[in-house]
Each structure stands twice: as structure tokens, then as C-alpha cells.
Structure 1
């Protein structure tokens, strides 16, 4: 897989995983169905999906080239990016008008 394809794969996975906690009521998308997941549980899922995205990105980077060291700034920016990508799911779950 080329480096460009790896980047697009990680970005697509990040967008899907960022919205996954808000579009289903299952625990981590495969667990038992909850009647109501609170926002705290959704944020915990988002943090774990962020870690999964980091893991996949690091693995693909190691396969394609030498792995670069990442400081705290990288993880701070990635957290902000995941929160930004999760915004459509948050709006759909919490801010849309309930009929």
C-alpha cells in the first residue's frame, strides 16, 4: 500500500470511528445494547477509538517508512481532530429536534 493510500485510510477510519459512538447504542459497536448511553460513556468510546486510530497509523507508518517520534503536541492535535470529526455525530445524537 502506498503512503498516500495509508493516509487516506487512516483519515477515513478516523472519521468513521469518531462518529460511531454517537450513531449506535451498543457498547463499543459490538457489545450488548444499552437503553441509554450517557455522554461520558460515549467519550470513553471516542478515546478508545482514538487510540485504535493511532495504533493503525503507527503500524502503517512503520510498514511504509521509518517511524517518527511524536511529542505531546501530536496527541493534543489528534484529540482535537477526533473531536472535530465527531461533531456531526454529536449534533445528530444530542442537538437534533426529537419528535
Structure 2
């Protein structure tokens, strides 16, 4: 696997955990509420999936060998993105704070 492939995997790992590790929308826009709701986190997760996917598509096209993908590819990569978000989900919802 090339360096660009590993970069996309690392970017997906960071992007999948970003909604769970802070109380700002896309880590930039503060909310007036104290905590983000789960629906906002899910919406952020979906948007970040498409952002990381577009970046990966751009890198693949730049390399010169862009391949057509079917719905199976997108279903599997979205499931992998959800699995990548597990550490952030665990930190946000399952770790007890004192």
C-alpha cells in the first residue's frame, strides 16, 4: 500500500473520532448548548465520511488510476468508518467520569 493509502486510513481514523472528542461542530463551531446531541454527532459522522471519501477519490484520481466503485464499496467503507469511530464513541458515552 502506498503512502497515500495509509494517509487516507489515518485521515479516516481521525475523522471518524472527531465528532465524539469535542463539543464543537466539526471541531470549529461552538454550540450554545453544553453537550452535542447524538443526532448532531451522527450527522457530523456522515458528512466527514463523504469528506474523507472525496479526499481519497481526489488522491486516487491524481495517481492516474481511478476505478469505478459500486454500492458494495460504499457500504463496506461506511461500515469501516463506523468501526473506526468506536474509540471516540467509547470515550464519549461509555467511560465514567467523576
Higher strand share: 2
Q: CA deviation at 1:67?
A: 1.0
Q: CA deviation at 1:36?
A: 1.0
Q: Trace 1:60-75 onto structure 2 (pairs within 5 A).
A: 60-75=59-74
Which of 11, 14, 17 is matched with 1:16 structurally? Answer: 14
Please list every run of at least 4 consecutive aligned residues from structure 1 whose deviation after the TM superposition is greater than 6 angstroms.
none
Which ranges of structure 1 fall in alignment gaps of 5 or more residues?
A: none
Q: Trace 1:45-84 onto structure 2 (pairs within 5 A).
A: 45-84=44-83
CA distance in 2, matches of 1:97, 1:35: 18
Give 1:41's aligned residue. Answer: 40
TM-score, normalization by structure 1 = 0.93
CA distance in 1, matches of 2:44, 2:25: 8
CA distance in 1, matches of 2:61, 2:70: 17
CA distance in 2, matches of 1:50, 1:68: 19
Which of 28, 31, 46 is matched with 2:29 structurally? Answer: 31
Instruction: Give the total of aligned pairs.
Output: 97
TM-score, normalization by structure 2 = 0.94
Higher helix share: 1
Which ranges of structure 2 fall in alignment gaps of 5 or more residues?
A: none
